[in-house]
Amino acid sequence: MGQDRCRLLLVDDEIDILDSLRRLFHRDYEVVAAGGGRAAFDVLGNVRIDLIICDQRMPDITGDQVLAAARECQPEAVRILLTGYSDMETLVKCVNEAGLYRYVTKPWEPTAFRQMVAKALEDLQHDRMLKGMLQSPEEFIAQCDREHNLIKQLGHEILMASNLKIRNNTLRKILRIYTMYFKFHFENEERFMLSIRYPGYDVHRHFHRQFMEALERLKAAFGRGEDVYGEVKELYKKLTVHHISDTDMEMIRYVREMHAPSPLAEKLTAYQAPSRSNDPSR
């Protein structure tokens, strides 16, 4: 399998429909099949997806709910709703809340369906190319700002979890849904650092790998029913206190000094951290 093959997530609780979708697309794409909404959540938390085709009427979780969750944890993935009826209220809701690309009614016309998916993925690849080519220092820092705020918000949820039920719900969301989000965040940082030949790239990359390995280990332990709250809390402290406030700050200062024009200073105000130059451990 070539590395450039796009990955599709097919979601339907009816095995016959799922098999039909698999036969329709497996020759051109890498296909991952999920037999319902909860199975789709597991995939979205573990596997990077380029395009999702999801049935609307499923017994556990509806298609619009799956696609709305996908929009949160894998926002780049193209989202297509599969429906056997024209429920305009549901379609409007899905467009608004899940950022729906298209909807397809059953039974579908195979050639037209394949062409729609091919066009959607072509547009996606074009957008990704433009982002990689055109992302300016200002855009990169603004994106870091948004992503760091989300990471800090998640860490705050962990620290504020007041009882076992809330803790488990918070851990489930972070460990199962946001694992892939962190992977995307780190990949974006690394792409930009390479593009500007940032000298601290290896330090960043090493931390990213360590963090993702620890997160995957804790996710597996949580799935086995182990109490990982304390370890997750410490991991997030390490991420927010040491990485975002230290190594990320150094990178942003470098971007400002070497690549960004002076108007960028205002955007960097929120990133100013106390100097640690006198810290004997450094």
Which domains occur in the chain, in start order? 7-131 (3.40.50.2300), 135-271 (1.20.120)
pLDDT at 276: 41
Q: Is the pLDDT of residue 224 over 50?
A: yes
| Amino acid of residue 268 | L
Q: What is the pLDDT of residue 182?
A: 75
With 70 as the cut, is the pLDDT of residue 221 above it? yes
Which range (1-10, 90-99, 259-268) has the least confidence? Answer: 259-268
Averaged confidence pLDDT in the chain = 77
40 and 47 Cβ atoms separated by less than 8 Å: no
Question: Is the confidence at residue 266, as pLDDT, over 70?
Answer: no
35 pLDDT band, cuts 50/70/90, is very high
Q: Provide the pLDDT for residue 105.
A: 85
What percent of the chain has a predicted confidence (pLDDT) above 70? Answer: 79
The pLDDT score that the predictor gives to residue 186 is 81
Q: Whole-angstrom Cα distance, residue 5 to residue 272?
A: 41
Q: What is the pTM of this model?
A: 0.51
